[in-house]
Amino acid sequence: MYFMLIQHQQWVLVHLHHRTKLPLMEQVNIQNMSDIKITSWNVRGLRRLIKLKQVINRIKQLKSKIIFLQETHLTMSDVKLVKNRWPGQVVHASYNNYARGVLILIHRTVPFQMIKTIQDPAGRYVIAQGNILSFAVNLVSIYGPNENNPKFFEDLFLTISTLQGSYIIGGDFNCTLNPTIDHSTGSDIYKTQTRQVINQYISDINLVEVWRE
C-alpha cells in the first residue's frame, strides 16, 4: 500500500492490530492490494469548478484509491459536484464556503462497506466506519486548528479510540510532530501542548506515522 502526502504538515497515521503492516492480503482480496495508494491533500478550496476538475484529474493521475482532502470550503449542497465527478463513495463534513471542510473519497474498486459516518459540525474532521470484506477499518480525515488547541485533538483521539477495528488517519494537522526535522527553523514552541497530545495518543493507541516508517 502506498501513501502520498501533499503539502507541509500533512500526516497519515495507521493502526493495525498487533502492528501488522499493510496490506493484509489474506483479509483484503482486491486485484492487487499492494498497489492501493492513499493520498492526503489540503486543497485550499474546491468551490471553483475548474479547481475541482484539476484536483480530481490529479488524483486519477496518481491512481489514488482512498483520499483525504482538507479545506474543501464546500457546503453540503456543493458536495454533489464532487459526487458527480468521483467514481466511488464521498464522505464529508462541511462548515461554510469560506473555511474548513473535509472529505474522504473511496474509489469504487475498494470494496468498502459503509456502516456509519461521524461528521464534525465545525467541519474539522469526518470519520467513515466500515468494512473491507471482513476487515473493520475507520477512515479519518482531519483539518486541525491553526491555533494551539490540544483539547481538539484530545477529544478527537478519545472518540477514535472507542471505535472498533483499525484506523487510517490522514490530514493537515497544522502542527509539526517533530520540529527538529519537520520545521525549517528546527523549533516550534507555539504548539508544544498540541504536539505533546498528538504524540501521546500516537503512542497510546498504537499508531504509526507512515512517512517516518
The Cα–Cα gap between 121 and 158 comes to: 17
The Cα–Cα gap between 134 and 117 comes to: 18
Q: How many domains does the chain have?
A: 1
Task: Give how far Cα 74 sits from Cα of 43, 101, 117, 134, Å.
Answer: 11, 6, 18, 33
The Cα–Cα gap between 50 and 179 comes to: 36
**Binding-site sequence positions for Mg(2+):** 42, 71, 172, 174
Can you give the pLDDT at residue 176? 87
- DSSP letter at 23 equals P
- 10-residue mean pLDDT profile of the chain (213 residues): values are 50 53 36 68 95 96 95 94 97 93 97 96 97 91 96 97 93 89 75 94 89 70
In 3D space, the residue among 61, 41, 66, 33 whose CA is nearest the CA of residue 139 turns out to be: 66
For residue 90, the one-letter residue type is V
Is residue 199 classed exposed, middle or buried when 0-12, 13-18 and 19+ CB atoms within 10 A define those classes?
middle
Q: Which domain holds residue 86?
A: 2-209
End-to-end CA distance of the chain: 13
Q: Is 174 left (phi over 0), alpha (psi -120 to 50) or beta?
A: left
| Beta-strand relationship, 2-6 and 37-42 | parallel
- Residue 104: CB atoms within 10 A of its CB come to 23
- The CATH code of the domain that includes 160 is 3.60.10.10
Can you give the pLDDT at residue 35? 60
pTM: 0.86
In 3D space, the residue among 12, 72, 8 whose CA is nearest the CA of residue 37 turns out to be: 12
Give strand ranges (E) for the chain. 2-6, 10-15, 37-42, 64-70, 88-93, 102-107, 112-119, 125-132, 135-143, 166-172, 208-209
